Amino acid sequence: MWALRESTPARRELRRMITIRHVVCDREPYFVRDTATALDAADYMASRNIGAVCVLDPDEKLCGIFSERDLLKRVVVRKLDPAGVSIRDVMSEPRAVIDCGDTPREALERMERVGSRHLPVVDGDRFIGMLSMRDIMRVELGEQGAELQLLHEYISH
């Protein structure tokens, strides 16, 4: 169907209007402090049903990311006690971040470039939240719905 193609004017206009700020602005930012243990972070992630969490230093600056993969590779496989392991010792360095003024398309391209399903969102150097590939897919589906609505209104008049 021509209306859903990438190149339609309505889709291009929607892409310019939606920023990462729109995607994450109403959500509680998920994070743990750099004083947490791996167990603290795992409990936090499990209670919120999330696959990764940002790690913030005492100045509220992003200093790392801790994911399910980090838990498996850096704690479980090494047979470490998660309650005794500092999050700082097992977190990953952020491979990339996305600015809250960037678009979901830019975020997806960055995720693909660095091989990540999550990107920390920042406003300058201030941590805002975490963006997941799932969040971007929700935006994409919403854009398709909006474009179909525009097409329906056009045809109806």
Query: What are the structural domains of the chain?
Result: 2-156 (3.10.580.10)
Residues 62, 94 contacting (CB under 8 angstroms): yes
147: confidence class by pLDDT, cuts 50, 70, 90: low
Q: Mean pLDDT, to the nearest integer, of 69-79? A: 97
Q: What percent of the chain has pLDDT over 90?
A: 62
93-103: string of b/e by CB count within 10 Å (b at 16+)? ebeebbebebb
The pLDDT score that the predictor gives to residue 75 is 98
pTM exceeding the 0.95 threshold for the entire prediction: no
